[in-house]
A = this chain, B = another copy of it.
Amino acid sequence: MANIIKYPRPMVTVDIVIFSIQNDNLKVLLIKRNIQPYKGSWALPGGFVHIEEDLDSAAKRELEEETGVKDIYLEQLYTFGDTKRDPRGRVITVAYFALIKSEDQKLDPKTDVSDADWFLAYKPLKLAFDHSKILDYALKRLQWKLEYTTVAFQFLPKKFTLTQLQKIYEIILNKTFDKRNFRKKIISLEVLEETGDITKGVSHRPAKLFQCKTKIGEILELI
């Protein structure tokens, strides 16, 4: 390990794949670039890591800048560092993925880019840089997380019904589940508890509202 100063340094960014469920669809937040390169293209929100800023902090900051939301589920996804991924030069990006609750949807991104919008995550899109690849990777990770962890709660408000939860699974994994088996499975995980509350103002039998037993995070971070 020779003198470290002599190496030309790459630029480092964070990009964030922000998922949400809206109108029974999995959506991803994209921004429209108003500068070159890829001016006019849609891209993942993100930006440069400040020199005095931890990576996670950078991701949190960018997320809050782009969407106004904080204190949500955010995890590092993968680092993409091919030499030719950015025409401006060597840019290594640490990708994160974030899940935001349906109730936070309205919070329109207040960002300095020209436009921002939610897109169907499963509809193939031409994105700037290698962002399509990053999105694909995030979708795989999301599906995997859903099958092997309890990350789905992140999409829902504090209190939710089992039918709402099942819907999340069905949307993301793109298949249906038998209601009885789904409930049996979820209950057997012993991560939920009844709140005693029920849904109000529905013109049918009201549903029980559940909530997560434990602080979210511990079960999820392991892999």
Q: Which residues of A contact B (CB under 8 A)?
A: 1, 4, 7-12, 33, 35, 47-55, 76, 78-83, 88-92, 94, 113, 140-141, 144, 222-223
Contacts and interface: CB of A to CB of B under 8 A. Distances in A.
Contact of A222 (B9, B50, B88, B140): B140
List of 9 A-B pairs having minimum Cβ-Cβ separation, nearest first: A55-B81, A9-B9, A8-B51, A79-B79, A7-B48, A54-B82, A79-B94, A51-B90, A10-B12
A92 B33 contact: no
Contacts of A9: 9-12, 51
Contacts of A79: 55, 76, 79, 94
Given A4-B88, A76-B79, A140-B223, 16 more contacts: A7-B48, A8-B51, A9-B9, A9-B12, A10-B12, A12-B12, A12-B92, A54-B82, A55-B79, A76-B78, A79-B94, A81-B94, A141-B223, A144-B222, A144-B223, A223-B223
A83 B10 contact: no
A10 B94 contact: no
13 contacts: A1-B33, A1-B35, A4-B48, A12-B81, A49-B81, A51-B83, A54-B83, A55-B79, A55-B81, A79-B94, A92-B92, A144-B223, A223-B223
Contacts of A90: 51-52
A52 B78 CA distance: 20
A54 B80 CA distance: 9
A21 B193 CA distance: 44
Nearest to A82: B54
A48 to B, nearest CB: 5
Q: Report which residue of A4, A50, A76 has the largest number of chain B beta carbons within 10 angstroms of its beta carbon.
A: A4
A32 to B, nearest CB: 12
Contacts of A49: 10, 81, 92
Given A79-B55, A144-B222, A144-B223, A4 B10 contact: no
A76 B33 CA distance: 29
B53 A83 contact: yes
A12 B90 CA distance: 11
B51 A7 contact: yes
